[in-house]
Structure 1
Amino acid sequence: MTTNLTEMNISIEQAYDQLIDKLQGWLNATIEMLPNLVLAVIILVAFVILGKLIRKMVNRLLHKATDNKTIIDLLETIAGVIIVGIGVFIALGVLQLQGTVTSLLAGAGIVGLAIGFAFQDIAANFISGVLLSFRHPFGKGDIIESNDYYGTVQKINLRNTLIKTPQGQLVYVPNKVVYENPFINYTASYERRIDLSCGVSYGDDLEKAKKLAIEAVESLDNYDNSREVELYYEEFGGSSINFSIRFWVDFRQNSDFLSARSDAIMAITKKFDEHDIMIPFPIRTLDFGIRGGEKLNTVLGDGKQSTQEDN
């Protein structure tokens, strides 16, 4: 019994000694690492402060390049995270935890590669959205046509461009599709040309018709008088000599174009009516002969003659 107690006391003492040695080793290591630990904390705090300063600087620079608040906030946050991340890696290096740094970098690379494959379409739309925000090919309120969709730009998000059609529908067009394909910005120059086709009869004076059509357009209120009205005769049509009249209007919304075109049609029609200029409608000639070229009364007369002979 005494032997067992003695052996137990020895085991407890050994365990106690091992624990004390372990704690002593940790304490010594902590004391040795204390300067590095303080330095690492100072570095981390310094980089956090630097990250805030960089975010403010990036915010000011981006506001000069784009008005897209979503893009600005995102890029500002990314810049801050990168700066703090650099500080974390430097602090870990000061603590002589190079293995941890290597593992984190390797893990970040693998995770980034996996995310890149999984969300490549989202990433492409995001990058396209950033490029569209900085290049400014169009902005909010512009009237554009992209991928067969025509309307007013409502917003440029991180993933898509929101277009409101004249009929009131909202269309979400992916930024990648907008950036990689041709599109038309109708309000880029705030002016637009109207090409209006018409025709006059073969018996009318072409010089007179041209003069009257130009006068009709020049009398419009929404006509841009800084540009000359152009009229060109284009072809000999089936029932008229066709022409195209071209003039410019200020263009900031759809009604500017539609109302100007409508007013021009009414003005030209009224002007031609006042001066006996005829805008002919299509003429169709009906041929009732078997061999062609025979008039209807001739055909009907032959029919009556045949009937009388039969009687």
Structure 2
Amino acid sequence: MDSQRFDIDAVIQRLLEEAYSLLAALPLLALSVLVIWLAWMLGSWLSRRALLDRIARRNPFLRDLARTTARWVVMLVGVLIALEIMDATSLVGAVLGTAGVLGVALGFAFKDTLENYLAGILMSLRQPFAPRDHVVIDGNEGMVVALTSRATILMTLDGNHLRLPNALVFRSVTLNYTRNPSRRFEFDVGIGVNEDLVRAQRIGVDELKGLPGVMQSPPPRAYITTLGDSNVQVRFHGWVDQRTNDFLIVKSEAIRQVKLALEAAEMDMPEPIYRVQITEHIEAAASSGSGTSASAKVPGEEVVVDTRVNADLDHQIEQDQLTHGSEDLLDPAAPRE
């Protein structure tokens, strides 16, 4: 029975030994804490050096990333030195193993977030487009407002706010209308099969050459594209300098002026033929056609259309850019990809 008695003296002796060991390690513990504090201060000092700003150039995202990386690398070195002082380097392996497993788990959990983050880093280096560029990304058209660490922000032509994940933007085909200021428009006109097609082409091209907003080099051109049942399709091409003229307005005016020029030359532009059965009374038809149209064009009246660049979205984009502040990773002065 005496051999099974609980020996409280042995427990007290073990606690005293651990307490003495802890007291003996207090100077080393204080030194380790001091080393970690010095490493933190050194990392903070390095993160504010101008050298990191020069490495990151004018990219605020990379600048913050470089500062954070420098601070934590120095901090990690300080922790390793502190563990060596405490003779606790065996903990490093266990910590790294746990961090590895945790990193894999977090990687799967935040896959999309990390993918967008890395895509934002790469695009901030490449600068694939500039603010206010007119782009089409994966079928989404709009003006570039900003590039953040997670998303690319567009302003659609309808004035709507559109956020695209950076990962989608990075792997998608991007059509940039602004990169090359010269942009070509085209439209088709049906000419009667009995008309002089060369004359029709010359009339349309001459009209395009005199139209404000249409570039003289490359010059406007016309091609015969299709022989239809009742007409021949003639395609007209013209180029617009988007820096000074609105593409859609110039194209609209080109179609209108070419149509008027062909009509003035008495060129036949047949319409599709349909069979229509009239069932209403003759009196009703006569009374409905007796009035005159108030919108009829006055003979000799000259219409002047303003083809300058449309600035409808400029104010909205400016306001949206102000809300993001320094978060925008696009640099208007940076070289483009």
The TM-score, its normalising length taken from structure 1, stands at 0.73
The Cα offsets for residues 150-175 of structure 1, whole Å up to 9 and x where unpaired, read as 11122222222222211122222222
CA apart distance, 1:240: 1.6
- Which of 222, 227, 239 aligns to 2:218? It is 227
Name the CA distance, whole Å, in 1 between partners of 2:182 and 2:48. 40
| Corresponding residue number in structure 2 for 1:93 | 84
Partner SS state of residue 199, structure 1: strand
Q: Is the contact between residue 224 and residue 250 of structure 1 (CA under 8 Å) also seen in structure 2? A: yes
The residue type paired with residue 265 of structure 1 is I
Counterpart of 1:244?
235
Residues 241-289 of structure 1 deviation map (CA, whole Å, 9 limit, x = unaligned): 1121122212359x72111111111221222223222332223468xxx
Counterparts of residues 183-202 of structure 1 (less than 5 Å) = 183-202=174-193
User: Larger C-alpha radius of gyration, 1 or 2?
Assistant: 1
Paired residue for 1:37, among 22, 31, 34?
Answer: 31
Structure 2 CA distance, aligned partners of 1:215 and 1:24? 103
Contact 1:192 1:248 (C-alpha < 8 Å) held by counterparts = yes
Q: Where do residues 52-201 of structure 1 align in structure 2 (5 Å cutoff)? A: 52-54=45-47, 56=49, 57-64=51-58, 66=59, 69-70=60-61, 72-201=63-192
Aligned length: 265
TM-score (norm 2): 0.68
More displaced, 69-78 or 145-154?
69-78
Q: C-alpha offsets along residues 1-58 of structure 1, whole Å, 9 cap, x if unaligned? A: xxxxxxxxxx9xxx89x96x87766565556x49x937x8457625642554356433
- 1:232–1:243: 8 Å Cα contact kept in structure 2? yes
Structure 1 runs not aligned, ≥5 long:
1-10, 287-311
Decide which moves more: 162-171 or 43-52.
43-52
- Seen in structure 2, the aligned counterparts of structure 1 residues 87 and 26 have a Cα distance that, compared at 3 Å, is closer
With over 3 angstroms needed to count, the CA separation of the structure-2 counterparts of 1:52 and 1:249, relative to structure 1, is: farther
Q: Is the 8 A contact 2:35 2:78 kept in 1?
A: no
Of 226, 250, 256, 1:260 maps to 250
Q: Alpha carbons of 1:90 and 1:195: their partners in 2 closer, same or farther (altered >3 Å)?
A: farther
> Per residue, is there more helix in 1 or in 2?
1
1:48-99: CA deviations, max 9, x gaps?
A: 42554356433332234x4xx3454345324432332233223322442202
Q: Which amino acid aligns with 2:266?
A: D
In the alignment, which residue of structure 2 is the partner of 1:304?
Answer: none
The 3 A distance-change label for structure 1 pair 25 and 179 is: closer
Could you give the per-residue CA deviations for residues 108-142 of structure 1, whole angstroms, max 9, x where no partner exists? 22221111011111111111122222112223211
* Cα pair 2:182 2:240 within 8 Å, conserved: yes
Structure showing greater relative contact order (alpha-carbon pairs closer than 8 Å, 6 or more residues apart): 2
CA contact (8 A) 2:42 2:74 kept: no
Identity in percent: 28
Runs of 4 or more above 6 Å deviation: 21-24
User: Contact 2:47–2:68 (CA<8 Å) still a contact in 1?
Assistant: no
Q: Distance in 1 between matches of 2:93 and 2:103?
A: 15
Distance 1:140 1:246, change over 3 A: same
